[in-house]
Structure 1
């Protein structure tokens, strides 16, 4: 089994690779070895993959090939290597959460989500880097160090799923998992030029979430195309009644997971589109506003109407600040109290902030949050989708833990710059980031598409149509990183600040 010698299997998308495997035109072993080779060549420069099970990958790929050759039924992810964010257990591999407290923690069993991937034929083959406890949107920690942006090794890959995004962009894996509270799937996708999808709450179950009844954080897929993300989502979006927001009746959910892997075409010409570059409150950088305006000018003729408007986001910063810090307080106060020297700045800030709020503060914010969500539902009575930038800034030096200023104006907190993402987090609406050209700094720009709550299929289909248009555009198409340059680059671990930042 083989493909054209001019094509490196590591550069194949997941859907294409899976199709070639089924047709016996690509061996799972060939794909696995290509991913291993790419990791060996470029990961030292990027530091996206932080723990590997290469023996397990090789063994599983040989078994996958045997199943193909014997004519056995093949799962949706059959033979595809998958990177797993280091917030989730993979048996036999470290799960550190990016925390020094857990630097020696080895998972005794697979998380339920990993079990589902294996059942579909996927091969979880290593862990991808994230900041400590996924706190913040720069992927740096004191266990594994920083993850660089493959498009410019001096710049951040964002986060918190920055390792997954960087691994995808540089061809180390065809699929990767991530999670998202304040944009942790969408921000790194934007910075690295890949796709990150935050589903409606409950679509991807998370029974292991420490604050399962708080509808803010969720897992989701990352990939190099919308179709590939949909393929992974079709396995992640399974019935699981351990998640209180995953409605399971008669063993089934309200959505058909297999539909995410077979996206229908979508006519864009009837759609009413709202566009915003700041939701009325986010501190968006001028370079981001300029590129977004250019992109919208080119894309606007595709739609029935395009209007500069947005939902009422009154109180978004306050709501997100209080709810986020209370979540961190509940989960991490013991770590700060018992082992303060092993807790990083972002987690420390969140716990201390949580302690500054009273029960009355929290009660008022819960009411504000309800009002906020209702405003978004009213807004979507007259709009089909929102288009917006994914992130407020162009990628910056990874030594900068977070931006303290944007266009000369100070930010309010280490997460204030994530306002373009947490606007839809707070409302519970599905949101995807797709590559949309390079900004004036020559860095990838992510276009964010937000849809009606629970219209996950709609968001994916519109994203896929826009992806096709952008790919054919002379000004918006995005080329991948320079792999040859990554092969030649010095190891990131030799850079000052590699382990101390964060």
Structure 2
């Protein structure tokens, strides 16, 4: 190692990505020292939460030593130089298992990084391991038959969210300052809300999906996760690469319409100059009364600092139908063959999606696409009189992880295992960027996520606004976020010994 961490500072594992990168660049913190601190945190905490399901710590240390040697030699350093990053088990990392949470791919070990991971590594990041997700990211409870359950670090009896649940838990516990996530109907926003971290779903095409099978159907996208907004911006500056293999990533002359480097240096903005719309439920989402109360308490605390804040929502007519049909099309494209050939190896959620997809006709799909076009135009029109929308990230707060999904909300039955994610997929359908930041605690003392939504392709300004709101929230004692009790987690029994750990339908 080439440096010693400052003795008056906190554990290096708790540093922000930006601060850690600054210290490494100045020679005040060795990349190996940071890597060892993160590894020690994993070894102390992960038995209690089961978030990091594949790892090769020897490779991480070797990469950190090379990062330190490059700094000592005064070689050019990338924006993520020496930073550990946790990778969702939907992305290939060379030499680590990529299972997608599926028994069919239990033994799949890729030889090469996929494009997203290769880009992070080129920027200097060190993949510390793979994070758990539900089978094929289907659902917002991180459980599968390959690795079992991941628990919420704020309460080990509760759901950590999903599908990027392992990434959110890894961040909350200090395994790495950055983590990858992906989002179709809230898959990075929901776990960010449940675990008290930040999850950013960018506009479609900002983070290219070079291997997405339904490449012309704009619903699913990868995005950054971190413990604060600025760190998300730093990671996005690397993820937002020019890749013409994604038809929604506009590339001309080798460059995108957006400047990726701008995401790493968020501009300041005046919250009092902006027009905010506030909605509890977008007019259709089944938001529980307790979540509405917590949301209202948070918004009311912020109101004195906002010039314009109006109760309003875009017209979300047909949202449930659009999402149900088009989501099923995506699942049919990849998973139908698995259900047909190896039904015993496919879980309940994926099987149900395939079954549902086969119940729709070509006319149903055509109508859903037309509905989506009309839906999008209504949303874009709404933003003519509004700059940003404030809403809950999720319809219901974390429940017992044994429950596959909320089958009812305040006594009303949900329509499907994904219906309770309506607060997230409301903006997905319109292709608008959305970010979830911690904003207070709910009535069970669990983190609460505030969702902020902006115009399509207004990603930079959305991140800037989120950073301003984050700073404002940090200064309000009733809303300021707090992390999990790491000492208690280190003493907790192994989650794998809990009843129901492997009982995944």
> TM-score band, normalised by the shorter chain?
over 0.9
Residue number among 108, 115, 129 corresponding to 2:118 in the alignment: 115
The answer (yes or no) to whether the contact 2:5–2:33 under 8 Å persists in 1 is: no
The aligned length equals: 502
Matched residue, 2:265: 262
**How far apart are residue 253 of structure 1 and its match?**
0.2
The answer (yes or no) to whether the contact 2:15–2:177 under 8 Å persists in 1 is: yes
Q: What's the Cα RMSD here?
A: 0.7
| Structure 1 residues 284-309: Cα deviation after superposition (integer angstroms, max 9, x where no partner) | 01111001111111111222211111
What TM-score comes out, normalization by structure 1 length? 0.99
Matched residue, 1:40: 43
Matched residue, 1:2: 4
Residue number among 398, 401, 408 corresponding to 1:395 in the alignment: 398
CA distance in 2 between counterparts of 1:361 and 1:144 reads 37
Residue number among 369, 382, 386 corresponding to 2:385 in the alignment: 382
**How far apart are residue 3 of structure 1 and its match?**
2.6
Matched residue, 2:239: 236
Per the alignment, in what secondary structure is the counterpart of residue 387 of structure 1? strand
Please tell me whether residue 212 in structure 1 is matched to residue 228 in structure 2: no
CA distance in 2 between counterparts of 1:3 and 1:384 reads 43
The 5 A counterparts of 1:467-486 are 467-486=470-489
Runs of 4+ in 1 over 2 A off after TM superposition: 2-6
Q: What residue ranges of structure 2 are gaps of 5+ in the alignment?
A: none
CA distance in 1 between counterparts of 2:67 and 2:107 reads 31
Per the alignment, in what secondary structure is the counterpart of residue 57 of structure 1? helix
Matched residue, 1:498: 501
| Structure 1 residues 124-160: Cα deviation after superposition (integer angstroms, max 9, x where no partner) | 1210000000000110000000110010011011000
What TM-score comes out, normalization by structure 2 length? 0.99
Please tell me whether residue 289 in structure 1 is matched to residue 288 in structure 2: no
| Structure 1 residues 300-357: Cα deviation after superposition (integer angstroms, max 9, x where no partner) | 1222211111000000000000000111112111100100000000001100000101
| Structure 1 residues 408-466: Cα deviation after superposition (integer angstroms, max 9, x where no partner) | 11000000000000000000000000000101110000000000110000110000000
Please tell me whether residue 429 in structure 1 is matched to residue 432 in structure 2: yes
Per the alignment, in what secondary structure is the counterpart of residue 401 of structure 2? coil
Please tell me whether residue 463 in structure 1 is matched to residue 463 in structure 2: no
**How far apart are residue 210 of structure 1 and its match?**
1.6
**How far apart are residue 379 of structure 1 and its match?**
0.3
Please tell me whether residue 26 in structure 1 is matched to residue 22 in structure 2: no
Residue number among 369, 374, 379 corresponding to 2:372 in the alignment: 369
The answer (yes or no) to whether the contact 2:278–2:310 under 8 Å persists in 1 is: yes
CA distance in 2 between counterparts of 1:166 and 1:88 reads 17
CA distance in 2 between counterparts of 1:501 and 1:132 reads 10
CA distance in 1 between counterparts of 2:118 and 2:35 reads 19
The 5 A counterparts of 1:261-340 are 261-340=264-343
CA distance in 2 between counterparts of 1:309 and 1:115 reads 42
| Structure 1 residues 16-43: Cα deviation after superposition (integer angstroms, max 9, x where no partner) | 1001101111100000000110000000
Q: What residue ranges of structure 1 are gaps of 5+ in the alignment?
A: none
Matched residue, 1:489: 492
